[in-house]
Structure 1
């Protein structure tokens, strides 16, 4: 029998998991992963849901150590550019210093607010601001949004910047704005209309992007506000494209979104200079390399894959999260108030089930160079909970995954708790829709 094709027994898989696992109870237990990934220029840190306390808390703990011990200089998150730009200005001590992090995050209004307006993010941002204020201005850690959804907010920011810096260029911005006005700031409505009528706003937003870039290039110094303007113009352009493709039910909308996030990572890294080091926060489905999942069979890519393909020579590390059972903060359908839901024990034969059977306690698993063992090289389901979750449909949210190819390390939790939101959703959301990880 060919040894490479022989049937692998469950005890062999459990033995490999146990051999890799280290106890995880305090931040000092992160030593192995900090040492493993600290030399990389880009470290992606995932989450297995958008509503679990342990994933957010430990992502924050790992980030703190990488900032303090290995000089990471910025964080890019699965969030909107304009909202995160306000956070960036605040944590670096520039604006709204009368607020604490909770006060800043209370202003988040776009559903799902709990992704960022929660107790764990507030605690991390309070720490980050305190850390920054003890550092020289040029050493302070930035906080940036990578996502593509903020079409209307980004257009508003562009108009404000042009009014102050290049009023002669305002007609391009207002032309783009007027193109979207008939759709009542509803990107879904705009996108559906493009299926019926061939006219789109694409030409107008591309012209606006080119004009903003031209105006910025004329300036002798590319200041922070100019950088913000260029990024908002890029968001508006890609958002128009994303929504137009999304309503066709075409999976390429996922690729548009992750390519935009990758382009934003590159722009931020270039803006901050070659010595900058970035931490990337996003769901496992964005952070874990798509080539080690069934996403690849559908022609889908993701941020983790693109980071490895484009920056492996500078150092890229990907860290995932997983849990067995507990509670999660999520919604039953789009736009409705969040609720605490019970997460049942993992499906039999999944990565989570095997981790539970092998360990039964929180653990850190750092994979090292050899990824050939029976667990790391085997294909099994890996749970992915997004902002939407229906426990009765639990069987449909497992992404076939080769763990050793998807991540470089994994943080495992036996039992997890729901995030604590800073405020509750009070009305249905009617704009800025996204593609959910549960859609695989």
Structure 2
């Protein structure tokens, strides 16, 4: 081993804080988080049990001890809002599994898994014990184009049938293309079809002009907020599916910008209700690790949610990445295929995963510590596994050059990890809203 690499390993071993499952594991990390209002907790794959488990452990402490008011996740807005109603005791769902039933789009296992199920039940129990200080559960993503349009119409049916009729007429523009938004994107980019952007924008503006009215639904003014977010999502999703045919970089930026807009809307909504929002964000490392410190940013001009959150709230944002060296993962071989358990290959020599493996064991690192930051500021390969894992082309499919100490404020490493357990026996399937993904399903 080169002398410099040996020095780095020693530095990291001295700085590593063990993760043993003990109740005090994250005491020092909570101190480092301090007064941050936005704690972004990433993951190196969408199918690793330890990432979900530890993210939930840390989130529970942030809610219980630091007064965090919401969990915002890389999931579709309407699906997650059903969970939000459940954890607030404002739905007819009888269990967390029922509340998670709207997650039917591929990849189901990403949110319909045992770890999320346990956290949702915990959150409902916590909220029941703390009336007036409940924490919500929200989705940040934009794939639910048709479901979100339907949700806008359904809301208006309860408060203003005439407005609902106008919304149906506007959204009928999308009916020419069926339920596949990729067909819409292709037809409007190449098939001489006029885009439906103006209709979607007009609908949002009409909703915004309305005061939040009492609703026949269970949440009152929250129902108006829910509908308005669905209308905003329809605009951004329409733009996203057209951008897919103009270039991957553009569509990626539209998607992460939408996530940032949704996060900001949650903040504004919470402040309007007289609360000071403090939000935990759950998403992939590729969305939360600052894109300016990876070739996503410096080569492709891509931005992401982590970058945008740091730029909007620079003193109040704390980003945590997660990593593994080897183990198993729940993933698909291609988009829409059933979930399967696959073996994660050991990290490539010289990669971030390889370096952390040499440190040994499970631990977390404070990347704001000067010695650690100096050691992990240089470019290294870092692995990103989404919902698709292709080990046969792993170097090109899943590794990206990054500067880890600039991407994250802290890093959790679990040397050997295991596959997340889906709630469904088969978890591939429905692909109603088709996604453009990079790298492979993030």
Whether TM exceeds 0.5 here: the answer is yes
**Any idea what the Cα deviations from partners look like across 1:60-95, whole Å, max 9, x if unmatched?**
000011111111010100000001111001001111
Deviation at 1:36, TM superposition (A): 1.0
Asked whether 1:419 is paired with 2:420, we answer yes
Q: In structure 1, what is the equivalent of residue 74 of structure 2?
A: 78
1:272-351 equivalences in 2 (<5 Å): 272-273=270-271, 275-297=276-298, 298-313=300-315, 315-351=316-352
Comparing 103-112 and 205-214, the one that deviates more = 103-112
1:208-219 equivalences in 2 (<5 Å): 208-216=203-211
Residue segments in structure 1 that go unaligned for 5+ positions in a row:
1-6
Deviation at 1:371, TM superposition (A): 6.2
Q: In structure 2, what is the equivalent of residue 238 of structure 1?
A: 236
Deviation at 1:161, TM superposition (A): 1.1
Comparing 366-375 and 52-61, the one that deviates more = 366-375
Asked whether 1:402 is paired with 2:403, we answer yes
Deviation at 1:116, TM superposition (A): 0.2
1:163 and 1:430, CA in 2 relative to 1: closer, same or farther beyond 3 A? closer
Contact 2:108–2:428, Cα closer than 8 Å, also in 1: no
Aligned length: 430
Asked whether 1:124 is paired with 2:119, we answer yes
Q: In structure 2, what is the equivalent of residue 108 of structure 1?
A: 103
Asked whether 1:271 is paired with 2:287, we answer no
Runs (4+) off by over 4 Å: 217-222, 371-374
Residue segments in structure 2 that go unaligned for 5+ positions in a row:
none
TM-score under structure 1 normalisation? 0.93
Provide the rounded CA distance (Å) in 1 between the counterparts of 2:3 and 2:174: 57
Provide the rounded CA distance (Å) in 2 between the counterparts of 1:14 and 1:426: 40
Q: In structure 2, what is the equivalent of residue 391 of structure 1?
A: 391
Contact 1:172–1:211, Cα closer than 8 Å, also in 2: no
Comparing 256-265 and 174-183, the one that deviates more = 174-183
Report the aligned-residue RMSD: 2.0
Asked whether 1:382 is paired with 2:389, we answer no
SS in 2 for 1:78: strand
Provide the rounded CA distance (Å) in 1 between the counterparts of 2:441 and 2:338: 20
Deviation at 1:438, TM superposition (A): 3.6
**Any idea what the Cα deviations from partners look like across 1:288-342, whole Å, max 9, x if unmatched?**
11111111121111111111111124x1100000000001011111111111011
Deviation at 1:370, TM superposition (A): 2.2
Q: In structure 2, what is the equivalent of residue 90 of structure 1?
A: 86
TM-score under structure 2 normalisation? 0.93
